[in-house]
Amino acid sequence: MHRLAVDTGVLDANTVYAYVLWCHDFAATSVVAEVDGEFAGFVTGYQRPADPSVLMVWQVAVDGRQRGRGIAAAMLNHLIDGFADSGVRAMHTTISPDNEASQRLFSSVAQRRGLTFTRRPLFAATDLGDGHEAEDLYVLAP
Ligand SMILES: CC(C)(COP(=O)(O)OP(=O)(O)OC[C@H]1O[C@@H](n2cnc3c(N)ncnc32)[C@H](O)[C@@H]1OP(=O)(O)O)[C@@H](O)C(=O)NCCC(=O)NCCS
């Protein structure tokens, strides 16, 4: 997961330890995709402690050789399929204004599932430091 995050060239790569800890504690709200037994992508997500009806998606990444085959959408749909069992009603994520691929991914999933898809400002660039872009909050909800 760390290697793929680095390879995307656009995601903030967390430490290896952070990904291991994430999988240890948030496996139920995260997904790893495999193609022919090979690691092909991941989604990291968590239920917001202050509002467990929200599943917050942090990072989505698909190996460059496997893109355009519906893998990212399948991983998000897998998480949405589990909503009823876990009491989750909405998916939130943050996306930078220039990440068109991510905006298209989430809007496509929302449209196909009949979910509303809304955006509002969340973190300004000055909140995030290191020359990071702003991150808008996107909400997928019934
Ligand atoms: C964004 C990313 C996860 C998409 O993965 P993917 O498996 O190729 O996406 P899918 O094949 O499931 O496509 C889902 C939808 O997104 C659209 N999409 C995917 N990549 C796109 C791109 N580069 N430009 C425009 N639309 C794109 C697809 O057309 C599809 O929409 P449709 O159903 O209307 O045809 C992948 O490109 C990636 O890992 N990018 C680098 C990391 C990143 O930016 N992550 C998102 C921020 S956390």
Q: How many domains does the chain have?
A: 1
**CATH code: domain of residue 33:** 3.40.630.30
With a Cβ cut-off of 6 Å, ligand 1 is lined by 8, 10-11, 59-62, 67-73, 99-102, 104-105, 108
User: How confident is the prediction along the chain (142 residues), in pLDDT tens digits per residue?
Assistant: 999 999 999 999 999 999 999 999 999 999 999 999 999 999 999 999 999 999 999 999 999 999 999 999 999 999 999 998 999 999 999 999 999 999 999 999 999 999 999 999 999 999 999 889 999 999 999 9
- Specify the residue with its C-alpha closest to ligand 1, atom 10: 70
Nearest C-alpha neighbor of 88 from the set 137, 116, 51, 139: 51
> DSSP alpha helices (H): ranges in the chain?
2-8, 16-26, 71-81, 83-86, 100-113, 125-128
Domain span including residue 119: 2-141
